[in-house]
Chain A
């Protein structure tokens, strides 16, 4: 058998094994996705017929103040939340990795936010931020840091930080666990060698941990950015995008366009713009990862 036909027969037998995943993937992912992308180039509204209208939606998006605003909110949210998750996750992972006492108890406790469905995360934080019965106001007033209760989720000034704090909280466990797995895969021999050379903690971190953790870090940062930019449940429950669109993330904007106003075509167009934006992020991630492999 020559090389070519060997490859062909391999492909065929692989196709047979992959069929059980390929059929659902095509039916419930690729087909709807292709259709969804197409809908972004139509004027489809719920209940009406579908008509192709080229780039009309995108010209409208370009002029749509609410769309720009939601994208801007989305970017601020994504950067702040991903950065917070990264810093806190890194600190926790490093400390937990350093043979700290009570490691087992800590590692179970830190996953609690992860175990809560996003809806419940929203419910909890709404309760914490509640202007009348929320614990945050009670604590701050008790400490005399504020004189009057603050309405965290409906004040223009406080809503963004408030939502971001809740957003970071939900993603720290995942980030920590992933980074911890990355740290574990670094051989301890390297650290022992560094200790003999008399390297301090900072030198150890910046010369060994950070460079060896780079592939894991890149993956974690990239995934966090994708997930945070696409997030929906938490903010949907916390603020529903309010007050005045201050926290209307792109997903919430698209959801409203589609299911509140029925502008499915327009919502799909928002989705398409989101894909382009996230593809750029993914591209940079792959480039970093690829360079790493070439090394």
Chain B
């Protein structure tokens, strides 16, 4: 069989593509593998260093001590609570809002879209102390509910912007049919629009969850009571004085903290492949 120049060239391009992707993947994935690796090593083995990626003997004590560390468990529960609550509230209030932003072209619409854009340039440091004062006024300092509300507003720009993009692609006929059947606007939004764009809402929900699951600065400054702190803040406390002595535990906890987002992202990518998030990323 003769190989044409064209197919040889194609073969080389394909091979080269795979090699480049693999090199980039090592850069992107290796740090997590290393984290996973240290989480299964005994402290002496970690401190000695070396090139061992798969531990000589798997050591599970770090994971065991997480279960016994009530502060850590509490912080995981706090993080879950704040993330799930803020995600739910954000989506519930953002859905009708995004719909109305698509349908009514008024001055308020422009103001809200302007806020979405501008909110990306506010350094958190500028908001954080006055925010503390507002929360104190509302008796919401150092409370899960207070942090939840802060995260709702922190997630809103992203969520509104994503939903706005999705709803814009929904044909007007759907809505007209609903109104002919006598539905009110809110009924339309929650009963008809919601199921129609459910996959898109799922994707948006995942982003909203991860934004608050990962957030650090607000949680660091606003939550003082050890019972209320979130996982990232709890983990950052381990990095201080105790340092290397507890690195195994820290690595194990970090791996666990990464899992929820990783699982959610896997779902997201599955959806992405079927094309639901191919909406534009323009404002």
**Count of chain B residues near A, Cβ 8 A:** 98
Of B128, B214, B273, B280, the contact of A107 (CB 8 Å cutoff): B273
Q: Which positions 227-247 of chain B face chain A at CB distance < 8 Å?
A: 231-232, 235-236, 239, 244, 247
Complex Cα distance, B240 from A122, in Å, reads 13
In the assembled complex, B112 has its CB within 8 A of some CB on chain A: yes
- Nearest A residue to B115 via CB reads A25
Report yes or no: A33 in contact with B127, Cβ–Cβ below 8 A. yes
Which of B59-67, B92-100, B170-178 interfaces with chain A? B92-100
In the assembled complex, A104 has its CB within 8 A of some CB on chain B: yes
Complex Cα distance, B124 from A278, in Å, reads 13
Complex Cα distance, B121 from A272, in Å, reads 10
CB distance from A172 to the nearest CB of B (A): 6
Instruction: Chain B residues near A135: list those with CB within 8 A.
Output: 34, 49, 51
Instruction: Chain B residues near A150: list those with CB within 8 A.
Output: none
Report yes or no: A18 in contact with B281, Cβ–Cβ below 8 A. no
Report yes or no: B123 in contact with A219, Cβ–Cβ below 8 A. no
In the assembled complex, B28 has its CB within 8 A of some CB on chain A: yes
Tell me whether A177 and B21 are in contact in the complex, defined as CB-CB below 8 angstroms, given that A108-B265, A230-B124 are known contacts: no
Report yes or no: A32 in contact with B134, Cβ–Cβ below 8 A. yes
In the assembled complex, A258 has its CB within 8 A of some CB on chain B: yes
The residue in B121, B123, B138, B283 that gathers the most chain A C-beta atoms within 10 A of its C-beta is B123
Instruction: Chain B residues near A146: list those with CB within 8 A.
Output: none
CB distance from B238 to the nearest CB of A (A): 8
Complex Cα distance, B97 from A33, in Å, reads 22
Report yes or no: B125 in contact with A255, Cβ–Cβ below 8 A. yes
Complex Cα distance, B238 from A46, in Å, reads 27
Instruction: Chain A residues near B50: list those with CB within 8 A.
Output: 138
Report yes or no: B123 in contact with A251, Cβ–Cβ below 8 A. yes
Tell me whether A120 and B254 are in contact in the complex, defined as CB-CB below 8 angstroms, given that A36-B129, A128-B34 are known contacts: yes
Report yes or no: A133 in contact with B47, Cβ–Cβ below 8 A. yes
Which of A54-62, A110-118, A156-164 interfaces with chain B? A110-118
Report yes or no: B282 in contact with A10, Cβ–Cβ below 8 A. no
Complex Cα distance, B27 from A236, in Å, reads 22
Report yes or no: B236 in contact with A20, Cβ–Cβ below 8 A. no
Tell me whether A28 and B32 are in contact in the complex, defined as CB-CB below 8 angstroms, given that A18-B100, A138-B50, A258-B129 are known contacts: no
Tell me whether A14 and B120 are in contact in the complex, defined as CB-CB below 8 angstroms, given that A36-B126, A111-B265, A169-B28 are known contacts: no
In the assembled complex, A173 has its CB within 8 A of some CB on chain B: yes
- Nearest A residue to B125 via CB reads A254
In the assembled complex, A232 has its CB within 8 A of some CB on chain B: yes
Q: Which positions 6-23 of chain B face chain A at CB distance < 8 Å?
A: 13-14, 17-18, 20-21
In the assembled complex, B198 has its CB within 8 A of some CB on chain A: no
Report yes or no: A10 in contact with B106, Cβ–Cβ below 8 A. yes
Tell me whether A17 and B232 are in contact in the complex, defined as CB-CB below 8 angstroms, given that A24-B152, A278-B121 are known contacts: no
Tell me whether A230 and B235 are in contact in the complex, defined as CB-CB below 8 angstroms, given that A14-B106, A95-B21, A110-B25 are known contacts: no
Contact residues on A (Cβ < 8 Å of other chain), bracket: 35 or more
In the assembled complex, B250 has its CB within 8 A of some CB on chain A: yes
CB distance from B184 to the nearest CB of A (A): 11
Complex Cα distance, B104 from A220, in Å, reads 28
Instruction: Chain A residues near B20: list those with CB within 8 A.
Output: 91, 95
Report yes or no: A109 in contact with B121, Cβ–Cβ below 8 A. no
In the assembled complex, A81 has its CB within 8 A of some CB on chain B: no
Of B35, B150, B266, B272, the contact of A28 (CB 8 Å cutoff): B150
In the assembled complex, A282 has its CB within 8 A of some CB on chain B: yes
Report yes or no: B123 in contact with A264, Cβ–Cβ below 8 A. no
Complex Cα distance, B118 from A72, in Å, reads 23
CB distance from B186 to the nearest CB of A (A): 8
Instruction: Chain B residues near A272: list those with CB within 8 A.
Output: 126
Instruction: Chain B residues near A108: list those with CB within 8 A.
Output: 265-266, 269
CB distance from B76 to the nearest CB of A (A): 12
- Nearest A residue to B31 via CB reads A124
Report yes or no: B125 in contact with A39, Cβ–Cβ below 8 A. no
Report yes or no: A124 in contact with B254, Cβ–Cβ below 8 A. yes
Which of A63-71, A178-186, A188-196, A203-211 interfaces with chain B? A178-186
Instruction: Chain A residues near B273: list those with CB within 8 A.
Output: 103-104, 107
Report yes or no: B125 in contact with A21, Cβ–Cβ below 8 A. no
Q: Which positions 29-44 of chain B face chain A at CB distance < 8 Å?
A: 29, 31-32, 34-35, 38
In the assembled complex, B166 has its CB within 8 A of some CB on chain A: no
Complex Cα distance, B31 from A134, in Å, reads 11
Instruction: Chain A residues near B210: list those with CB within 8 A.
Output: 115
CB distance from B264 to the nearest CB of A (A): 8
CB distance from B127 to the nearest CB of A (A): 4
In the assembled complex, A11 has its CB within 8 A of some CB on chain B: yes
Instruction: Chain B residues near A233: list those with CB within 8 A.
Output: 216-217, 232
Q: Which positions 173-210 of chain B face chain A at CB distance < 8 Å?
A: 185-186, 210
Report yes or no: A127 in contact with B247, Cβ–Cβ below 8 A. yes
Give 19 pairs: A residue, B residue, CB < 8 Å, sorted on A. Answer: A11-B104, A21-B94, A29-B153, A33-B126, A103-B273, A111-B269, A116-B258, A117-B216, A120-B35, A120-B235, A120-B257, A121-B31, A126-B239, A128-B31, A138-B51, A236-B236, A251-B124, A279-B121, A281-B121
Q: Which are the 7 A-B pairs with shortest beta-carbon distances?
A: A271-B126, A35-B130, A133-B49, A36-B126, A115-B261, A32-B130, A278-B121
Beyond A232-B124, A281-B121, 8 extra complex contacts between A and B, CB < 8 Å: A35-B130, A104-B273, A107-B269, A116-B261, A117-B216, A117-B257, A123-B35, A268-B126
